[in-house]
Amino acid sequence: MLETLKRHKIVAIVRGLPLKHAFQTAQALEAAGIHLLEVTLNTPDALKILSSWRENFPGMHIGAGTVVTLEDAKLALEAGAQFLVTPNLDEAVVEHARAHSIPIFPGALTPSEIVRAHFAGATAVKVFPVSALGGPQYIAEVRAPLAHIPLIAVGGVNVGNARAYLDAGCVGLGVGSSLLDLEKVRAGDFDGVRQDAENLVKALEE
């Protein structure tokens, strides 16, 4: 999974998506070149969305985000999650994922938290909310002593700064509201959704 993340780089974070728009949203993102898709568990019908995506988009990697408790992790795996993402570090959640051979990206922010997450068994560590501590510069400074730990930047990542996070050494990026405009989704503008995603993909290729 880590190699998949390094290759495709973007994890689309989907929060608050209405179930009725789930299929067309994933279809638009896939058409734009997005290969990793995360639905947050604080989204209404999140588990239904996750299961639907697993059934309809076999070429994508479908995961669950905002996995806060061990119960969240269990429910997500039962629904078919192929990876788990948390906003915090809970060793029990990491252990459960590892016991089921499921990639997990736990949230951490400080160097101490990042190292703790790494030794707990993180596939890669989600640095969140990274923009609050300086964005790409913070990543570069953290990686000076911790370059052996794979990092995913999450929080404030957008088309304008995404390339800078990769240049600073991140193996992947979690991108949410700047990638998926729910107003366009609700309006049925899935061409617009696809175009926004294509713009981000192209920004990373330049």
User: Which amino acid would we find at residue 108?
Assistant: A
Three-state secondary structure call for residue 179: coil
Beta strands in 117-186 (DSSP E): 125-127, 151-154, 172-175
- Between CA 93 and CA 195 the distance in angstroms is 36
> Which sequence positions are flagged as catalytic?
38, 126
Sheet containing 107-108, strands listed edge to edge, beginning at the edge strand earlier in sequence: 104-105, 84-85, 61-65, 36-40, 10-14, 172-175, 151-154, 125-127, 107-108
Going by C-alpha positions, the residue among 171, 131, 164 that lies closest to residue 147 is 171
End-to-end CA distance of the chain: 24
Measure the CA angle with vertex 70, ends 68 and 76; round to 5°. Answer: 80
